[in-house]
């Protein structure tokens, strides 16, 4: 009888910080890293949601920690990162926290525009800078920012989100260019439509919504998904884990698009 396949332990006892970890893609990434042996520091602004998610996880003594943090607050970010790193040096960072407020650009409220950038761009900057400063002294580390294929192609009623994800992706690649000499790799993963609470909020319980995503909508300039399916959070988590891992040891400044071919043009 063949031995059961085991999950590779690519992060055995290596500490990784994951933002936006209470649900969706962030939660899937945290689970994937745990399964691969990492010490996971799960960060989210929503303390209630984070506590509920932590309760659903299998016991992982000494390997799973929750931290309530608003990544838009630079001083709080620096303090939290310093505390985490002091408990065990951070090998990896996944920037996954994100918000989306759909609206046409002419109807986007100034506060919604600013909040989108506060989380998706400024938060990514604050956390990446704080973590990278600790990594530099050790000459090792990997950072992955979860952006979006919407940062690569224009979308109707998603202008603020598209612009913020494009900014976060370019920031990460520029950071990688600066940190390469310190042995730190920085990459981007850009998901397409993925079965998450964020996507569900956009679909508004429309029974035909999944078909619309897959088939495309010429009126909204969407081409559809060639693989004929919406991604699962685990699809994205596996890509993130690869780019964080030693298997991607000579990959940096890259943007891995995981969208079933939706933005092939």
Q: Could you tell me the two tokens for 146? A: 């979860």
Q: Do 28 and 240 form a contact (C-beta atoms < 8 A)?
A: no
In the numeric block, the tokens 């620096």 are attached to 78
Q: Crossing angle of helices 24-35/233-244, nearest 10°? A: 50
Q: Which residues pair with 190 in a beta bridge?
A: 257
Where do runs of H (alpha helix) occur along the chain? 24-35, 47-56, 74-87, 110-117, 124-136, 159-179, 197-203, 209-215, 233-244
Classify 19 as helix, strand or coil.
strand
Give catalytic status of residue 161 as yes or no: yes
> Positive or negative CA dihedral for 65, 66, 67, 71?
positive
- Taking Cα atoms as reference points, which of 57, 49, 61, 60 lies closest to residue 23? 49
Classify 248 as helix, strand or coil.
helix
Convert 18-44 to b/e letters by CB count within 10 Å (16 or more is b): bbbbbbbbbbbbbbbbbbbbbbbbbbb
Q: Which helix (H) or strand (E) holds 189?
A: strand 184-191
Q: Which of 11, 53, 117, 161 is flagged as catalytic?
A: 161
Burial class (CB in 10 A: 0-12, 13-18, 19+), 59: exposed
Residues serving a catalytic function are: 161
């Amino acid at each position: 009888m063949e031995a059961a396949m085991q999950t590779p332990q690519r992060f055995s006892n290596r500490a990784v910080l994951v933002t936006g970890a209470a649900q969706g893609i962030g939660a899937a990434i945290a689970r994937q890293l745990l399964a691969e042996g990492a010490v996971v520091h799960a960060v989210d602004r929503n303390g209630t949601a984070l506590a509920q998610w932590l309760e659903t996880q299998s016991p992982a003594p000494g390997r799973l920690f929750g931290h309530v943090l608003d990544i838009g607050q630079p001083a709080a970010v620096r303090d939290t990162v310093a505390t985490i790193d002091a408990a065990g040096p951070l090998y990896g960072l996944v920037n996954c926290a994100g918000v989306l407020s759909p609206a046409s650009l002419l109807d986007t409220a100034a506060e919604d525009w600013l909040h989108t950038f506060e989380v998706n761009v400024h938060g990514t900057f604050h956390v990446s800078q704080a973590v990278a400063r600790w990594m530099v002294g050790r000459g090792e580390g990997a950072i992955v920012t979860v952006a979006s294929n919407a940062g690569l192609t224009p979308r109707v009623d998603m202008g603020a989100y598209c612009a913020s994800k494009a900014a976060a992706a370019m920031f990460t690649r520029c950071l990688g260019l600066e940190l390469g000499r310190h042995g730190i790799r920085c990459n981007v993963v850009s998901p397409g439509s993925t079965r998450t609470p964020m996507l569900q909020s956009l679909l508004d319980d429309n029974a035909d919504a999944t078909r619309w995503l897959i088939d495309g909508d010429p009126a909204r300039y969407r081409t559809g998904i060639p693989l004929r399916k919406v991604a699962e959070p685990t699809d994205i988590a596996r890509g993130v884990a690869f780019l964080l891992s030693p298997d991607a040891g000579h990959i940096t400044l890259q943007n891995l698009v995981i969208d079933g071919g939706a933005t092939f043009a």
